[in-house]
Amino acid sequence: MGPTDPSDYIRERVRAQRPRYAWRPGLPIDRFRRALDTAVGGTRDRRPPKLETTVESSENADGFRRERIAFTTRTGMRACGWLLVPDRPTGAAVVALPGHGIGADAVAGKAIEPYHAEFGVQCVRQGWVVCVLEQVSFGRRRDAKAMASGTGNSSCVRDSMAALMLGETITGWRVRDARRAIDLLSERSDVDPSRIGTIGISGGGLTSLFTAALDERVAACGVSGYFNTWAGSVLAVDHCVDNFVPGLLDLCEMPDLAALVAPRPLFVESGDRDPIFPLATFRTALAQATRIYDAGGRPAHLGHEVFAGDHFFHGKQMLPFLSRALSPGGAA
C-alpha cells in the first residue's frame, strides 16, 4: 500500500472520533435531536404549506384500494406515491419507504422487484393505511436524465450534490417528505394519529430510522437492510452519496440514533449475507441499541432478526412486532 493511499488515514480518523452524542446515561436527548436536525439541513418548516393532496388514479385490489397521490412537502416541492387503504382499517398507519431501484411501484404492488417484496402490500394486509412514499431521486421522482436512462437508475448523485451546495442534505429532504406524509395520514378519519409508524428497506431504512429519530410522532419504526455502524458499512463499502451527511460522525454513530427513538418500539433486521451492511457490524450496532433500550427499562421495545439471505426486505418477525406496537396501547 503506497504512502499516498488515504485509506489508512481515513480509518484512523474514524477510529479516533469521539462523538459528542455517543450514548451514555443522562445523554441530553433534546439537544441531540436538535443537533441531528441541524446536521441534515432541517426537516420541517415552521409554517409548512398546505398539503394540497391530489388523487391521480384509484383502483380496487384484493382487500384494499390503491390510490396514486401527490402532495406538497415544502414550498416548490411536491411528493408522490401510493396510498393503500384496507377494506377494514384498524386505525394504524405507516409511511413505507423504498430503497434504490424501481421505487414506490415495487413497494405498492405495481411492479415486480424481489428485494422490495411488495412490502407496502404486506403492510396494508395488516389492516394499516399505508402511504408508500416515492423518495426524492428514486422512481418517479428522478430528474429527466435519469428517467430517460432506465427504470432502476436514480438521480441521487446530482440531487445529493445540489442539496449539499445549498447547505442541506438528501437525507434531510427525504425525512422532510416523510414527516409531511405523517401529516397526511394524521388528517385521515380512518387513522389514529398516535398509531403511525415508519418502515423501509435500505435507503428507505435510512429514512425510516432518521424520521423516527427526529419526529416523536412516529409510534414505531421498522428498519430493514440498513441498521449497522457507519464505520462498518457506508465508510467501508462503496455506497451511494445519498448516505452521507457532513459532520455526522462528530455527533454520533448510527446505533446511537436508537437513543432518539427509544423507548418507542424499534425493529431492525439484516440478512446474514448482506454485502453492503455486513453482519458483524450489524451485531455491533444491535448490541449498542440493546444497551440503550435496557437502560430505559423497555428491552421488549427493541426487536431484531437475522435472516438467511442477502440484501432484501424479509419482514417475517418485523411485521408481527410492528402490528403489536401499532395496536391500541401497544407501545405502552
Query: Is-contact 183 51, C-beta < 8 A?
Result: yes
Peptide bond into 263 cis (omega under 30): yes
In a domain, 254, yes or no: yes
Query: Is-contact 180 48, C-beta < 8 A?
Result: yes
In a domain, 42, yes or no: no
Kindly tell me if the per-residue pLDDT of 146 is higher than 80.
no
Kindly tell me if the per-residue pLDDT of 153 is higher than 90.
no
Q: Please give the residue range of the domain that contains residue 289.
A: 47-325
Euclidean distance between CA atoms 195 and 322, whole angstroms: 10
Specify the higher pLDDT residue, 148 or 252: 252
Q: Using 50, 70 and 90 to split pLDDT, how confident is the model at 201?
A: very high
Q: What is the pLDDT of residues 268-302, one digit of tens each?
A: 999 999 999 999 999 999 999 999 999 999 999 99
Task: Check residue 3 and give its pLDDT.
Answer: 66
In a domain, 331, yes or no: no
Could you give phi then psi for residue 307, rounded to 5 degrees? Answer: -110, 160
Q: Using 50, 70 and 90 to split pLDDT, how confident is the model at 2?
A: low
In a domain, 8, yes or no: no
Cell, residue 213: 429519530
Euclidean distance between CA atoms 256 and 285, whole angstroms: 8
In a domain, 100, yes or no: yes
Cell, residue 52: 394540497
Task: Check residue 151 and give its pLDDT.
Answer: 66
- CB burial class (10 A; 0-12, 13-18, 19+) of residue 67? middle
CA atoms within 13 A on the CB side of 31: 8
Task: Check residue 126 and give its pLDDT.
Answer: 97
Query: Which residues does residue 57 pair with via DSSP β-bridges, in sequence order?
Result: 68
295: region left, alpha or beta (phi > 0 left; psi from -120 to 50 alpha):
alpha
Q: What is the pLDDT of residues 45-101, one digit of tens each?
A: 888 899 999 999 999 999 999 999 999 999 999 999 999 999 999 999 999 999 999
Q: What is the CATH number of the domain that holds 73?
A: 3.40.50.1820
Kindly tell me if the per-residue pLDDT of 149 is higher than 80.
no
* Total of domains in the chain: 1
Cell, residue 142: 428522478
In a domain, 183, yes or no: yes
Percent with pLDDT over 70 in the chain: 98
In a domain, 250, yes or no: yes
Percent with pLDDT over 90 in the chain: 89
Helices and strands in the chain: count of H runs, count of E runs: 12, 9
DSSP code, position 234: T
What is the average pLDDT across 179-186?
A: 98
Specify the higher pLDDT residue, 139 or 192: 192
What is the average pLDDT across 20-48?
A: 95
What is the average pLDDT across 10-17?
A: 90
Task: Check residue 147 and give its pLDDT.
Answer: 74
Task: Check residue 171 and give its pLDDT.
Answer: 97
Q: Using 50, 70 and 90 to split pLDDT, how confident is the model at 192?
A: very high
Size (the chain), residues: 332
H/E run at residue 70: strand 64-74
Cell, residue 183: 401529516
Query: Which residues does residue 268 pair with via DSSP β-bridges, in sequence order?
Result: 223, 304
Euclidean distance between CA atoms 114 and 43, whole angstroms: 31
- Mean per-residue pLDDT over the chain, rounded: 95
Task: Check residue 4 and give its pLDDT.
Answer: 81
Task: Check residue 143 and give its pLDDT.
Answer: 80
Euclidean distance between CA atoms 162 and 165, whole angstroms: 5
Kindly tell me if the per-residue pLDDT of 1 is higher than 60.
no
